[in-house]
Amino acid sequence: MKAEDEWWRGCVIYQVYPRSFQDTTGDGIGDLAGVTRRLPYIASLGVDVVWLSPFFKSPMADMGYDVEDFCAVDPMFGTMDDFDRLVAEAHRLGLKVIVDQVLSHVSECHAWFVESRRDRSNPKADWFVWAEPKKDGTPPNNWLSVFGGSAWEWDGTRRQYYLHNFLASQPDLNFHNPDVQDAVLETVRFWLERGVDGFRLDAVNYYFHDRRLRDNPPLRRIKGNDVPETNPYGYQDHVHDKSQPENIAFLRRFRALLKEYGARAAVGEVGDGDRSLKTVAEYTAGNELLQMCYTFDLLGPEYSAAHVRKCIEGFETTVRDGWVCWSLSNHDVPRHATRLTKKNGDPDRTARFAILLLATLRGSICLYQGEELGLEEAEIAREDLRDPYGIRFWPAFKGRDGCRTPMVWEHDARNAGFTEGRPWLPVPASHAAAAVDVQEKDSGSVLAWYRHVLAIRQGSAALRAGELGFLPSGRDVLLFERRAGDAAVLCAFNFSDAAAKARLPSGANEVLLAVGGHSFEKKTLTLAGRSAILVRLA
């Protein structure tokens, strides 16, 4: 395989949440023309790929993850011509474009579901997961929805239940039906024909369900699951409603389609609790399935040297020939400048420390819009909530709107330059103070730091694609080498608040980057609390 065909290996992805990025029409919602307008800014960060969250036609019950038409742009985001211009401009700037492909389910407004629910004998009657009630009228099994309640919704027309792993208005497709697989693959082909470079596959392990509809057993250990404990979903061991073995054959079909179009790639989202790495290993093995996946291992509240090392070693041990995409923030979790900052800590220091850590891990990495500004999680009032997940579990869980507020471009402009109208979510004053135009003028800003870190990563074969090996260190220190041929970099991170020491290997001769205080004495490195350093090794 040519090196250029593996552009995804070690790449830096920048996730754009279009409705919150840039509005050009004044309706308070970001659009594709706005993304195109800001592509030079994205390119200036030193990233390789733009990931676009859904912009397809949708009733927006789940902010576009409930797709009504896979092959149409929703008018709130613009037109297909707007999309084509975006792709052309991104390619002109040297950026790849991947789109968020939501294949496990559709909107209840989708033509396929409208036909399927009409009766039990129409051509699409078996395109969704329909099941008879139990004798007492209750759902066929105990499966739960990620968004709360039963995963089964009664339909009065067919007098059956249908499966929905998310909202009741997001019925699950029946991937056991080969006609369904053919149909969704044709929607993938549609975007390949329009020139996209790849896909982010939403909920990639949710495509298939257990044909026998067996009950899920209880989960023995609740802590560490990838959903909040306020949600009963986390109390089940989801062995029957997702991550079924039949998915492997479908992913092989998906990869075969990508190969028809040359250097295209896909990254899968895997939410599978303690089995996530095992699932990633299965989905990325060899050269016939997905190129890479990401999990929620670094997207939760755990943040320590031991946890990060466990995640890395778990991947390296379990995923022998696959590839991982690491991230610390996205549109589904609280921003890491808040999530990973200790009480009375410094979010700015957290942001700098975190990107240095992310940029040194072996794998590809994904950044979420606004994290390069050090934006913290926004506090959203109950009356301003738009996320159905948060509305369902308020106040124990406030949902995902706090990480989805608009991007801030100009500190003294109306709505920080996002829109001239009323924004779909409020723009926090603290975010406006950290706007792009403010940080562009400050060589010591978080934005400047991100650009510097990404430039170092891009220029280092060791950091971009080298092997990773851990070195002996104390409990709170993460110490490892990245090495590619003769190029090597020592990476040291002190997660504690107190100073810590680490033994330096021979050949440490040049500091590349540092966060916080450090000192050298012969073969010993002393790192101040919450400090990190990269050192070139001869």
How do 96-101 and 198-201 pair as beta strands? parallel
Q: Are 448 and 499 in a shared domain?
A: no
Q: Does 234 reside within a domain?
A: no
| Residues with pLDDT less than 50, the chain | none
Task: Out of 4, 136, 193, 260, pick the active-site residue.
Answer: 260
The domain boundary residue, chosen from 397, 432, 455: 455
Residues 518, 393 share a domain: no
Q: For residue 447, what pLDDT is reported? A: 98
CA distance 523 to 420: 58
Domain boundary residue, one of 455, 475, 494: 455
521 is annotated as an active-site residue: no
Return the structure tokens found at 518: 């450090």
Cα-Cα end-to-end distance for the chain:
31
Residue 20 forms part of a structural domain: yes
Residues 266 and 370 in one domain: yes
Q: Residue 227: what pLDDT? A: 63
Q: Is residue 138 part of a domain?
A: no
Which residue among the candidates 74, 82, 100, 202 is catalytic per the annotation? 202
d(CA 94, CA 92): 5
Domain boundary among 433, 455, 477: 455
Q: Report which residue type is found at 238.
A: H
- 328 and 418 assigned to the same domain: yes
Residue 310 lies in a domain: yes
Beta bridge partners of 515: 532
Instruction: Answer yes or no: 229 catalytic.
Output: no
Residues whose CB is less than 8 angstroms from the CB of residue 188 and which lie 6 or more positions away in sequence, other chains included:
101, 103, 199, 254, 257
Tell me which residue has tokens 């440490």: 508
CATH label of the domain that carries residue 53: 3.20.20.80
Query: Are 484 and 432 part of one and the same domain?
Result: no
Hey, what amino acid is at 162? Y
Torsion sign across C-alpha atoms 308, 313, 314, 320:
positive
Distance CA 187, CA 495 (A): 45
> Residue 159 falls within a domain, yes or no?
no
Largest CA distance in the chain: 79
- Do both 339 and 487 map to the same domain? no
* 51 assigned to some structural domain: yes
Identify the domain containing residue 67 by its residue range. 3-104+175-209+244-455
Nearest to 208 by CA among 101, 71, 105: 105
Same domain, 471 and 371: no
Q: What kind and span of H or E run contains 115?
A: helix 111-116
Q: For residue 163, is it left (φ>0), alpha (ψ between -120 and 50) or beta?
A: beta
What's the CA gap between 291 and 321, in Å, rounded?
10
Buried b (16+ CB within 10 A) or exposed e, 140-177: bbbbbbbbbebbbbebeebebbbbbbbbbbbbbbbbbb
Pair (420, 295) in one structural domain:
yes
DSSP lists the bridge partners of residue 153 as 162
The set of residues, in sequence order, having a beta carbon less than 8 Å from that of 307 and lying 6+ positions away, is none
Dihedral of CA 78/84/90/96: which sign?
positive
Q: Is residue 217 part of a domain?
A: no
| 261 and 288 together in one domain | yes
Query: What's the CA gap between 272 and 250, in Å, rounded?
Result: 18
Separation of alpha carbons 346 and 499, rounded Å: 16
Task: Give the chain's domain count.
Answer: 2
For residues 328 and 336, what is the distance between their CA atoms, to the nearest angstrom? Answer: 6
> In terms of domains, do 406 and 522 share one?
no
Residue 509 maps to which CATH number?
Answer: 2.60.40.1180
Examine residue 63 and state whether it is found in any structural domain, yes or no: yes
The answer on 250 and 397 residing in a single domain is: yes
Amino acid sitting at position 323: W
SS3 call for 14: strand
* Domain shared by 400 and 521, yes or no: no
